[in-house]
Structure 1
Amino acid sequence: MKYKKITFACVLLGLSLYAGVCAATVREVADEAPASKQTIIADKKDKKLLNKKQRAVQITQEKDKIVVSTKPVAKPPAGTINVPAAPRPSLLQEKDGKFYFSGTQLPDDYRNIAIYGEAIASKAQAVAYILAANPAVKLACPVEELVELYWQEAKRENVRPDLALAQSLVETGAYRYGGDVLHHQNNFCGLGTIGGGVRGASFATPQLGVRAHIQHLLAYTQTKRPSTDIVDPRYDLAHNIRLERGVVNTWYGLNGTWAMGSLYCEKIMATYQKILAQQPVEPEIKPAPAEPVKEKNKKKRSMKQRVSEILQEKK
């Protein structure tokens, strides 16, 4: 009986020990599970961080490849002082109350010069300037004829012809063209050009080209229509926009409207000043050759008298 009790106690002890070992095992497994998840998350973060670092290093290496040059760097002579580059001077400058565009003095109060009025520069000055600015000018008519057309078409609408001509010179580069418009198109103000090789409008004659230019000015500057039939293909479009936004009455008002540049008027005024500076040489007027004086009341001589005079001269 005593041995049975001991054996039973041993069995209970063994079962208790087995149960304790199982419980410990379960706790270890339970503790290891969340630890493994944390490890996985940490590993992922480490990998992302590592990838970012590697990418940053790669970008730096690529930049170094672009920046680094194999050419030897020229060293400045000894005693050289590195002076930073001066800023590019503005084309429009003011000095002593006067405005200058590319070194050319602009008219006083040029911002208030009206588009309408009488010409101040002469036709002879305009011709002289064109020939001086572009001796190889190519036009569908002589320079003198083109200037005369500007005076005719502009004066009909009360536009200043000398300034309209100056605008034409700005638009065409003194009739060098060289851009999208060609000289045989008779397009003197870039009508219809939008860049990219688009030629713009063409006109059958120089007179129609000049008339279209003047009409386009009218579209920007007045509410009434021109006195001539519309030949400007963009008149209605430009006129409707100006009626909506307001017409302009000065050449300065064309800045940002006719042209997007802010110095468009200044270019026109500088060209106009150069036209005024011309001193054309007046053509030399040669006197007409004198007609031979006819002897009046001179009696006709007979053949005998003429033979006698010849014989005397021989003696």
Structure 2
Amino acid sequence: MRRKQFLQYGVGAIALCALGRLGKDTAQAQDMSALTNASNREKLCSRVLAGRIDRIMGDGTTSEVQLLRLLQINQAPLHLYGDLPTIYREEGAIEGVNYDIAFCQMCLETGFLQFDGDVRPEQNNFGGIGATGHGARGDRFDDRRIGVRAQIQHLKAYATTKPLVQPLVDPRFSIVKRGTAPLLGQLAGRWAEDINYDKKIMAILRRLYQLSGFF
């Protein structure tokens, strides 16, 4: 087994172990995370009251364990993708993109990492970039971090005219009319033709926040 594959499986195993322990020690975990959850709840509530829950540029609110729980209850293969929450949090923070929204978009685009659409797992394309329907596979990226980075950059292209922090990896960044979709609701008809695209992502986002105890 190659070292890269070993590391990926290792991260998945650690993720499964963490979730298993969380399930066994629920009361203790809740006590230990009470202050953090209270802080995140206050932060999220302020965003909701300000009407910014669907703003693409901004801070994420959830923890890696909370993102993993969303994947777990939707039967995602955590033994393969247990490192994705960390990658989304890191890449989103670098570019100032709300990683909660980006992560939930990934869940929709990949069918919670089941890849039951046109895009195949080996493409590392978590945002369906270039997958325009009718069997079009879309773009391919060297590894999952680059794939996540491309999705984050594509979201930033739509959400703002600010320059990228990291080198460009999104092959379709230049064809986006910058700053035309600062809100999640404005991605419908732009990122995807589905007029309910934003509503589907928002439904997953709300489910994530419910699971995390924020609502």
2:168 is the alignment partner of 1:230? yes
Would you say the 8 A contact 1:221–1:247 is kept in 2? yes
* Alpha carbons of structure 1 residues 263 and 197: separation in structure 2 relative to 1, 3 Å: closer
Partners in 1 of 2:212 and 2:187 — Cα distance?
29
Q: Deviations over 1:22-64 (max 9, x none)?
A: xxxxxxxxxxxxxxxxxxxxxxxxxxxxxxxxxxxxxxxxxxx
Deviation at 1:137, TM superposition (A): 5.5
2:207 maps to what in 1?
A: 274
Further displaced range: 167-176 or 194-203: 194-203
Q: Percent same amino acid among aligned pairs?
A: 34
Give matches, 1:6-25, under 5 Å: none
Partners in 1 of 2:193 and 2:134 — Cα distance?
17
* Alpha carbons of structure 1 residues 227 and 255: separation in structure 2 relative to 1, 3 Å: same
Partners in 1 of 2:158 and 2:62 — Cα distance?
23
TM-score by length of 2: 0.70
Aligned amino acid, residue 260 of structure 1 = E
Larger Rg: 1
2:180 maps to what in 1?
A: 247
2:154 is the alignment partner of 1:219? no
* Alpha carbons of structure 1 residues 135 and 278: separation in structure 2 relative to 1, 3 Å: same
Would you say the 8 A contact 1:181–1:200 is kept in 2? yes
Partners in 2 of 1:203 and 1:279 — Cα distance?
31
TM-score by length of 1: 0.49
Q: Which structure has greater helix proportion?
A: 2
Root-mean-square deviation (Å): 2.3
Q: Structure 1 stretches of 5 or more lacking a match?
A: 1-106, 281-315
The higher relative CO (CA closer than 8 Å, separation ≥ 6) is in 2
Deviation at 1:109, TM superposition (A): 8.3
Give matches, 1:93-108, under 5 Å: none
Alignment: residue pair count: 166
Partners in 2 of 1:174 and 1:109 — Cα distance?
30
Would you say the 8 A contact 1:153–1:214 is kept in 2? yes
Partners in 2 of 1:138 and 1:114 — Cα distance?
31
Match of 2:65 among 119, 124, 127: 124
Deviation at 1:122, TM superposition (A): 2.2
* Alpha carbons of structure 1 residues 189 and 110: separation in structure 2 relative to 1, 3 Å: farther
Partner secondary structure for residue 211 of structure 2: coil
Aligned amino acid, residue 61 of structure 2 = I
Would you say the 8 A contact 2:62–2:212 is kept in 1? no
